[in-house]
Amino acid sequence: MQLEGLHHITMITADAQANVDFYAGVLGLRFVKKTVNFDQPDAYHLYFGDEQGAPGSILTWFEFPGAAKGRPGIGMIHTIQLGVPSAASLDFWEGRLREHGAEPHRDEGTLRFEDPEGLAFELVVADDGNPPLRAEHPEVPAEHAITGIEGARAYSAYDGVEEKALTDVLGFTYEGGGRYRLQGRERHVHWAYDPAPPHHGRQGAGSVHHIAFASQDEDHLRWQARVGDAGGYVTGVQDRDYFRSIYIREPRGVLFEIATMSPGFAVDEDPEHLGEQLRLPRQHEHLRSQLERELRPVVNPRAAKELA
């Protein structure tokens, strides 16, 4: 039994349309699902990824209109690493991000930038084994397109101490210096802890809510039992329509999720038209007329171009 690398990372935004404009427009990801929060159906839940919405490519956001800006602190993810094919791709993205108002900073082998709400990213050359998970965008050459999520970094008070809950329970490999690798059958993800800043963190726009790792469907209940048997807190299984989930608060304070690989985002939508219509969880379908009146319209740029 092993986790299959990353499934998705979920953040908070204060403006759904601006979020779509940046991630589907500027970064060239595919807007794969427009739905709502299971626990708060008057809040959007937006998903972006590769052409299929494959695990390992997915970035998602809850929208809370007007939310104050967040700030990462101890027990919170502060940086997300996205893969690109080459050093030439870093050149391409440095220029494109500047053209769209960002202020990227080039470091050795990486390009750092923030999204419009202050969420920190690193573009890194993905040359250590992850198969590429690309979206198609008319302004982003395929040879420079983002290839999936490579890793994430969080703040911890014990950044240089091996976290046994990761290595002994969840199957991460400790590489030293606060760095870990989770290797699945086809994909891996990098994870790291950094020294915590002196200020307290707060969730809000531009902050990370949780990170989800991928499980084979048949192993999901076994992971739930494994975490519980090790003395960790783990929730019951939650049906999220596109995957099933359990949630864990790992000892450093970061909210982890373990999500199944299936059924995927085409279960309720034509694969050629992902993200074009509002899809509602089955439990909230009876609220459709109300939600369609109350939710601010969000335009999928791909669908808008096809209609033009």
pLDDT digits (tens, 9 = 90+) for 32-90: 999 999 999 999 999 999 999 999 999 999 999 999 999 999 999 999 999 999 999 99
Distances (CA, A) of 58 to 9, 100, 127, 140, 228: 7, 22, 19, 18, 27
Q: How many CB atoms lie within 10 A of CB 192?
A: 18
Once rounded to an integer, what is the mean pLDDT over residues 103-117?
95
Once rounded to an integer, what is the mean pLDDT over residues 139-144?
97
Residue 77: inside a domain: yes
pTM, entire model: 0.96
Residue 12 structural domain:
6-307
Domain count across the chain: 1
Residue 1: inside a domain: no
Residue 244: inside a domain: yes
Residue 147: inside a domain: yes
Taking only the tens place, the pLDDT of each residue in 201-235 is 999 999 999 999 999 999 999 999 999 999 999 99
Find how far residue 217's CA is from the centre of its chain.
20
Distances (CA, A) of 291 to 76, 288, 298: 31, 5, 13
Residue 17: inside a domain: yes
User: What pLDDT, on the 0 to 100 scale, is given for residue 212?
Assistant: 98
d(CA 304, CA 308): 6
Taking only the tens place, the pLDDT of each residue in 28-44 is 999 999 999 999 999 99
User: What pLDDT, on the 0 to 100 scale, is given for residue 304?
Assistant: 62
Q: Residue 272: give its domain's CATH number.
A: 3.10.180.10
d(CA 176, CA 193): 10
Residue 308 has pLDDT above 70, yes or no: no
User: What pLDDT, on the 0 to 100 scale, is given for residue 169?
Assistant: 97
